[in-house]
């Protein structure tokens, strides 16, 4: 069953997603970053190029010919077949249609109240479905 980790109170979802991508790549894990829309996917793509002066995070959009060989995939369109099903970072306010295909899902919830409310609804829904859940609050040890 998919393990779901909620990361809440995140001031900058894109920067946080990039840090998760960097950690996943360093651990040789494969990751899909699910953006809300095309604009957020483009912003995420741009952010991944500037995460660090010394680190490079190989990434391509879903559907790219190199997707099978690339450890980080960026998408907003869940209808595109994905080559990786290890980890998903959900930056959207909806439940991913492909949730059960992944071993682990990171739900990234910002400090925005509407985003937090949508995250709480997903948490309750996942809990009712008996998914294993963990919760991390940014800024708390």
The alpha carbon torsion through 99, 101, 102, 107 (nearest 10 deg) reads -10
* Per-residue pLDDT, 53: 82
Mean pLDDT of 38-49: 97
pLDDT at 140 over 80: no
Distance between CA 137 and CA 135 in Å, rounded? 7
* Per-residue pLDDT, 51: 87
Q: Which domain holds residue 15?
A: 3-137
**Which stretch of 24-38, 40-54, 115-129 has the lowest confidence by average pLDDT?**
40-54
* Per-residue pLDDT, 86: 98
| Phi then psi dihedrals of residue 68, to 5 deg | -60, -30
pLDDT at 17 over 90: yes
DSSP letters spanning 67-105: GGG-SEEEES-TTS--S--SEEEE-SSS--TTGGG-SEE
What are the residues whose beta carbons fall under 8 Å from the beta carbon of 70, sequence distance 6 or more? 58, 59, 60, 64
Mean pLDDT of 102-113: 98
CATH number of the domain encompassing residue 30: 3.40.50.10110
pLDDT at 115 over 80: yes
Under 8 Å between Cβ of 93 and 120: no
Average pLDDT, the chain: 96
User: Total domain count for the chain?
Assistant: 1
* Per-residue pLDDT, 139: 82
Angle at 6 between CA 4 and CA 8, to 5 degrees: 170
- pLDDT tens-digit series, residues 52-96: 888 889 999 999 999 999 999 999 999 999 999 999 999 999 999
Mean pLDDT of 45-56: 90
Q: H or E segment at 10? A: strand 3-10
* Per-residue pLDDT, 141: 58
* Per-residue pLDDT, 55: 84
């Amino acid at each position: 069953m998919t393990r779901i980790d909620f990361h809440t109170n995140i001031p900058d979802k894109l920067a946080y997603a990039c840090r998760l991508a960097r950690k996943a790549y360093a651990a040789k894990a494969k990751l899909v970053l699910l953006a809300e829309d095309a604009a957020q996917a483009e912003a995420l793509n741009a952010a991944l190029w500037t995460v660090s002066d010394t680190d490079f995070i190989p990434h391509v959009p879903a559907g790219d010919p190199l997707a099978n060989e690339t450890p980080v995939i960026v998408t907003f369109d869940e209808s595109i077949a994905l080559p990786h099903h290890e980890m998903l970072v959900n930056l959207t306010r909806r439940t991913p249609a492909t949730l059960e295909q992944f071993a682990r899902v990171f739900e990234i919830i910002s400090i925005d109240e509407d985003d937090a409310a949508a995250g709480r609804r997903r948490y309750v829904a996942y809990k009712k479905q008996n998914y294993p859940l963990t919760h991390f609050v940014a800024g708390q040890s």
